[in-house]
Amino acid sequence: QVQLVESGGGLVQAGGSLRLSCTTTGLTFSMISMGWFRQAPGKEREFVAYISWNGRTYYADSVKGRFTISRANAKNTVDLQMNSLKPEDTAVYYCATLYSGTYYQSASYKYWGQGTQVTVSS
């Protein structure tokens, strides 16, 4: 059974940092490309960051230079280090496994975690 569990969300002031982690089970993790998405209230889910099975990374323009995605295959985890957080980063953050298609489209992903709330106060 495939499971993805996000952790590390919370409340932080603008300019602060958080590190999100996604722990996976039931996957051959080292062969899976992973993505982070977020969804703010009243908005559609949007792409944040992606890391391929062999370590290639891509970021949304809105987070480039502030967020870093990484993976630890030995631990079956993918992390998202978020620095210089802004109030507009407030959202529920989700990790997901890429199934097929374009990395920045949510429809390309098969398995999703339950999400973790990130709130950035001004």
Q: What is the pLDDT of residues 82-122, one digit of tens each?
A: 999 999 999 999 999 999 999 999 999 999 999 999 999 99
Q: Torsion-angle region of residue 106: left (phi > 0), alpha (psi -120 to 50) or beta? A: alpha
CB 82 within 8 A of CB 67: yes
* Amino acid at site 60: A
Per-residue pLDDT at 101: 92
d(CA 109, CA 95): 10
pLDDT, mean over the chain: 97
48 pLDDT tier (thresholds 50, 70, 90): very high
Per-residue pLDDT at 51: 98
DSSP class of residue 33 equals -
78 pLDDT tier (thresholds 50, 70, 90): very high
Which helix (DSSP H) or strand (DSSP E) does residue 96 occupy? strand 91-98
Tell me the torsion sign for CA atoms 97, 10, 65, 69.
negative
Per-residue pLDDT at 41: 92
Per-residue pLDDT at 69: 98
Tokens of 83: 């620095």
CB 107 within 8 A of CB 101: yes
Q: For the chain, what percent of residues have pLDDT higher than 70?
A: 100
